Amino acid sequence: MKNYVSASVLSADMLELKNEIKKLEQSNIDMLHFDVMDGIFVDNITFGLPVLRQVRAATDMTLDVHLMITDPLKYIDNFADFGADIISFHIESESDTMSVIKAIKAKRIKASIAIRPATPAESVYEFLPFVDMILVMTVEPGFGGQSFIPETLDKVRAVRERIRELGLEVDVEVDGGINSDTAAAVRAAGANVLVSGSFLFGAQDMAAASESLRKDISC
């Protein structure tokens, strides 16, 4: 299984976004993680469609969009048209899960279900045959720079185990508090897409920091 690193631009210098994206490209980062927050689903507001469009124009990197919004179904077409390659939406949102998956797949991009720390692994099992990725939040969504919640490791393990049992090829992404100290544990639990914001953007050497997260494992 291949491992990927997805850099959360929530931790980037927004006034230098173009240069920050260049730095990601030069540091061999696999994906750009784009956190959309509406101030209702989570207690924070970030950026949205116009910024995504400009990011899309600036790079060929895979755009890994994480929607932390109340009604994702309403915005899937827009986010796909504005350049998303992968869309993660929350199962706790108000939209019907299967309808959102179908809307994303109709745009011929990758669909992913995100779950908050309090949401059990079992809640995504029935949807596994229809998605490309599961995003297990390893902090409460809303802010960068929080500490990893160790209790989420069991959930990563359970989701990966069920994917294996079903013989599917579904990526497991983790997001929140991922750094060189926590990466080995999430990889061992079965995560293969590691999101990181503050650790990567705070590193002296971003390429080395990214390598420390990605280290391929056999599984």
Nearer to ligand DX5, 49 or 162 (CB): 49
160 binds Zn ion (CB under 5 A): no
Determine the residue type at 87.
I
Q: Which of 98, 121, 118, 144 is nearest to 190 (CA)?
A: 121
Closest CB 151 distance from ligand DX5, rounded Å: 16
Contact positions vs ligand DX5 (CB under 6 A):
8, 10-11, 33, 35, 66, 139, 141-146, 175-178, 195-199
35 binds Zn ion (CB under 5 A): yes
C-beta of residue 160 within 8 angstroms of C-beta of residue 128? no
Q: Which residues, including other chains, have CB under 8 Å from residue 153's CB and lie 6 or more apart?
A: 185, 186, 189
C-beta of residue 174 within 8 angstroms of C-beta of residue 194? yes
Q: Is 77 a catalytic residue?
A: no
In this chain, which stretch among 38-46, 104-112, 125-133, 174-182 interacts with Zn ion, using CB under 5 A? 174-182
Nearer to Zn ion, 20 or 35 (CB): 35
Q: Is 205 a catalytic residue?
A: no
Nearer to ligand DX5, 70 or 162 (CB): 70
Structure tokens at 188: 């061992």
Catalytic residue among 38, 132, 171, 175: 175
Closest CB 209 distance from ligand DX5, rounded Å: 11
**Could you say which DSSP state residue 189 is in?**
H
Structure tokens at 191: 């995560």
90 binds Zn ion (CB under 5 A): no
Distances (CA, A) of 52 to 4, 26, 56, 126, 207: 21, 20, 6, 31, 24
Closest CB 165 distance from ligand DX5, rounded Å: 28
Nearer to ligand DX5, 69 or 178 (CB): 178
110 binds Zn ion (CB under 5 A): no
Closest CB 9 distance from ligand DX5, rounded Å: 8
Q: What does the alpha-carbon distance between residue 105 and residue 103 come to, in Å, rounded to a whole number?
A: 6
Nearer to Zn ion, 129 or 176 (CB): 176
What residue 70 binds from ligand DX5, Zn ion, none (CB within 5 to 8 A, per partner kind)?
A: none
Q: Which residue stretches of 30-171 are H helix?
A: 49-58, 76-81, 97-106, 122-125, 153-165
Q: Is 63 helix (H, G, I), strand (E, B) or coil?
A: strand
Contacting positions for Zn ion (CB under 5 A): 35, 66, 175
Question: Which of the residues are catalytic?
Answer: 35, 175
